[in-house]
Structure 1
């Protein structure tokens, strides 16, 4: 919730109604702008966790499942992916007050229509990430599958309790 007590309960209600994955970040941002007169959101970011792949548990991707099954230690036979979605305001449409009608100030949000996946997600930009233990990454790399599986992902490798990024 929010620290402002005047908005806190309304915001909690808003998050309940607007937290479904089926709503695009652009829809959530427009609803936030519309429902809260004093707030004018310039940016909205959402983190979508998953899928989580694990040898013997999930069967989402046969290639990943086959390679993870070859990892020696079962506790290292997993892969977690997540997506960071972002939508931002490209302009602010000023409000107007007239004698018979008025319009409040609203944001115009940018949707990147040059990127088909960004347009499908309803976002300005997005980033795909993957976290994988070192042993599992080595197995995927040795099988010649790492580049194909991680195409379009920022890869983070967990090795000896440390995370190595941008591999």
Structure 2
């Protein structure tokens, strides 16, 4: 009999309300800097200008997700009889909440309307809190919990949440010719293996009889296909070629995948290598005890060719530009055209990292957050 693997061994439960708040405060600060990182990447020609609004939207949604979870677990450890669970994070590989947290949030969203009807209004809760304090002379825990859940379920009704699965959307970019249209398709997932958000951006040309977004047959199939292939372990060239083979009149020209994470923190995660010592030395100031990886992978079609599709017809297929050695900048890039690896961190950890100058960081771009909140880019 094969040995069973404990998939929860890398999980950490935040059982204390104060610890949970510190965790969400840290992530709140990190996410506020990510928009500047995306803008910086665009200005440095690392990313396309057309991608920036889409990436910003997903980062805004990710911020809303963390805000919602912070309300859900606001009183963790203080209302164990009311709150059925506590927040679990991946301490080893991501630093983010585990995938099951987002699945549960999606389930909670289906019950949001019913739960909101069962909760008092915020005005009533505030009155109840005042009455409890004056009459009982104790902290109104139950009323505070009800208020936190009211905020939580109200946020879940928003369409700006980053869910475990964020279905593909397409934006028409224009007509390239009479029978050829250009679309920008984007979607995102919270990867179940790595426990981090992953954003996908696809530029595709459409030569179908009907425009893609008006085609009730093709567009649902495209959405289902892309979501089914959204695994962080799958190579971009595998995703693109599979799409190219399954849709003869859709031609994937450029596919990009952005990994938002992992997040490293001496207080919340376990890491090895140089970052461990860097963050340990910075951990005396909680606001400086973090670093976030940001990795962008890109696959580009260098040309297309006609290939046989039976005895009397041909179809257009894409030929992708791949790194022949599968190693760019010392990192494995099999199945990619290029890869940009970045590390976002406060100024103090960056200074320590620069002083130590450990091997392996020369090819990683550093986005450094100054004490004023400005983000600067260094190689």
Class of the TM-score when normalised by the shorter of the 2 chains: 0.7 to 0.9
Shift of 1:104: 1.4
Q: TM-score, normalised by structure 2?
A: 0.40
Secondary structure of 1:70's counterpart equals: helix
- Which sections of structure 2, spanning at least 5 residues, go unmatched? 1-168, 172-212
Mapped partners of 2:357, 2:229: distance in 1? 36
Residue in structure 1 matching 2:351, options 135, 138, 154:
138
The answer for the alignment partner of 1:2 in structure 2 is 170
2:340 corresponds to: 127
Looking at structure 1, the residues matched to 273 and 253 of structure 2 have their Cα atoms a distance apart, in angstroms, of 41
Q: Distance in 2 between matches of 1:92 and 1:57?
A: 48
Q: 3-state DSSP class of the match of 2:297? A: strand
Matched, 1:92 2:304: yes
Partner residue of 1:108?
319
Q: What whole-Å deviation, never above 9, does each CA across 1:120-154 have from its counterpart, x for those lacking one?
A: 4310111111101112212323xx32453522101
- The question of whether the paired residues in 1 share the 8 Å contact of 2:307 and 2:315 is answered with yes
Greater strand fraction, Structure 1 or Structure 2: 1
The alignment partner of 1:20 has SS state of coil
Separation of aligned partners in 1, 2:309 and 2:356? 60
TM-score by length of 1: 0.84
* 1:11 Cα offset (Å): 2.1
Is residue 343–residue 366 contact of structure 2 (8 Å, CA) maintained in 1? yes
Moved segments of 4+, more than 6 Å: none
- Which consecutive unaligned segments of at least 5 residues does structure 1 have? none
Partner SS, residue 13 of structure 1: helix
Q: 1:11 aligns with which of 222, 244, 247?
A: 222
Give the deviation of 1:56 after TM superposition: 2.3
User: Which gives a bigger RCO, structure 1 or 2 (Cα 8 Å, sep 6+)?
Assistant: 1
- The alignment covers a number of residue pairs equal to 164
After superposition, give the CA deviation of every residue in 1:38-97 in whole Å (9 maximum; x if it has no partner): 221211111123322111222222431222122131121111112211111122112457
2:232 equivalent in structure 1: 21
SS at match of 2:293: strand
For 1:88 and 1:51, how far apart are their aligned partners in 2? 25
Structure 2 residue 258 is matched with structure 1 residue 47: yes
Q: Deviations over 1:109-130 (max 9, x none)?
A: 1211134357643101111111
| Within-5 A mapping of 1:58-73 | 58-71=269-282, 72-73=284-285
Structure having the higher Rg: 2
Matched, 1:148 2:359: yes
Matched, 1:30 2:237: no
Higher helix share: 2
